[in-house]
Structure 1
Amino acid sequence: MSLPDSLDTAVRQAQEATEAALKDGHNRLQIEIILGDLNVMDMARQYLDLFAPQGEHLKVFFADAGAAALARRDWGETAFSIRGVSELLEPVQDSDQAVVIIAPTPVEVTDIEKMCLTAGDRPFVLLNPKLQDVAIVGIGYAGRQLRERFLNTLEPCYYLRPLAEDTVLFRAYPAPWQIWHSDPTEQFQCLSEFDHRPSGEEIERCLMGQTPGQSSEAGTRSFWNRLNRFLRALQQ
């Protein structure tokens, strides 16, 4: 699968990756489309079309009741329920066939893990979670262990994130993780593939090996111009 040329394409790819992962028996999924000016609410509504067959048996959660109320206002009438993570005494019920949680933060991680355990083998999707961002809330060692343990149970089935300059980290299940880089003709090419999410050091080694001599000020400006054009194209 190639890099998407628009946000609509990225969402379709995320839907396809979700379907492929569910077909292979992965029920705990993580979707991340990380773009600077992304309207997560609009992206999420488009992604949720994947679960239209579930109708009222889909349960959609936001981090808090305020965000859920905003979604209900902006999305109008929907077949599925929209709630804040902590709004219901029994958030996941027997009649629910799938659960999607949009932009959760570390504050909700304990509740989310309980919901995930209750969901069992039903599809359970985190869309653009912020669980890695410990700056959001001060959590102790036990809380960090919980967050990390829970994250390790999720399959990152779609990931799209521009990195420094003209580089993009990409993954669409079942393909491996990929580092894409823009060449002098402004075309993105896949430089390397990994069977795991590459670390910062691995990404740096990949770029140093493939793109020597690109440290001039003019060259850096050119990189950012190309990346900005890529981002603008995605969000059209």
Structure 2
Amino acid sequence: MVTVPQTLEASVTQAVEATRVAIASGKSRLQIELAIPELKAMPVAEQFLRQYPDLAETVKVFFSDAGAAALARRDWEGINCKLYGLEELWEPIQPEDQAFLIVASTAVEIKRVEKMCEEAGDRPFILLNPQLQDVAVIGIGAAGRQLRERFINTIEICYYLRPLEQGVLLRSFPNLWQLWWEQESGDYELLGENETRPGNERLAEMMESKLSPSQAPKKGILQSLQQFINALSQ
């Protein structure tokens, strides 16, 4: 059974295992997201590749800019995969490539990322901490809806970790989406599971149905629920 990781290294270990299982299950378009404030994507990507050496031997890694790729080439000692900025190569996907990892791509690059994903075919194509749903860039009308249906909704979120006000939203493939509540002891209680990523209302329902009055935080359950929902909306 998956449990809430206590360290960043442990969460990356979970992400590696979830990715392995997803690829073995025939999934190719994958997303890993550690939605932790202030967390930089490059150290996560480095740790991911170090814990996943068989992928590191075959993967082609792309960063949102060439500067980040240059830093990785300089600092990632012992990781010998190919490292590029998204705009560095005229034809980034080649027939001999075996797998791809896109690190912290933004909504500005979404068309290029989508094209690369299409060209990758059934080869593993992994998005690590992407920022692809920026409404200001993608739009909220027909164009945004088509993009979600055509590309974003085809990606399997194989690992997701988001700390909340008093809990954690976690998904580790092939497990369901799980909502965990942090108790005063520091341990976590599983409040509920969902087949798809739960929306704010569903999360609030899961909290209300599982918590007893004795478990409610001192500031009051209603206030806690509102803060919980506010945090999700940020």
TM-score between the two structures when normalised by the length of structure 1: 0.84
Q: How does 1:67-146 map to 2 (within 5 A)?
A: 67-76=68-77, 78-135=79-136, 137=137, 139=139, 141=141, 143-146=143-146
Q: C-alpha offsets along residues 31-76 of structure 1, whole Å, 9 cap, x if unaligned?
A: 0111123232111111123553355642100112222223223325
Q: How does 1:1-236 map to 2 (within 5 A)?
A: 1-49=2-50, 51-53=52-54, 57-76=58-77, 78-135=79-136, 137=137, 139=139, 141=141, 143-149=143-149, 150-163=151-164, 165-211=165-211, 214=216, 216-217=218-219
Secondary structure in 2 matching 1:175: coil
Secondary structure in 2 matching 1:185: coil
The Cα RMSD (Å) is: 2.6
Q: C-alpha offsets along residues 120-152 of structure 1, whole Å, 9 cap, x if unaligned?
A: 1111000001112334x3647454235413111
Kindly tell me the number of residue pairs found equivalent between the two proteins: 221
- Can you give the 5+ residue segments of structure 2 that lack an aligned partner in the other structure? 225-234
User: Measured at CA, do residues 147 and 66 of structure 1 come closer, stay the same or move farther in structure 2, by a change above 3 Å?
Assistant: farther
Q: C-alpha offsets along residues 133-175 of structure 1, whole Å, 9 cap, x if unaligned?
A: 334x364745423541311111110000012x21110000011
| Deviation at residue 197 of structure 1 after TM alignment | 0.5
| Deviation at residue 219 of structure 1 after TM alignment | 8.7
| Deviation at residue 217 of structure 1 after TM alignment | 3.7
- Can you give the 5+ residue segments of structure 1 that lack an aligned partner in the other structure? 223-236
- In structure 2, give the amino acid aligned to 1:30: Q
Instruction: Tell me, yes or no, if the aligned pair for 1:57 and 1:95 is still in contact at 8 Å.
Output: no
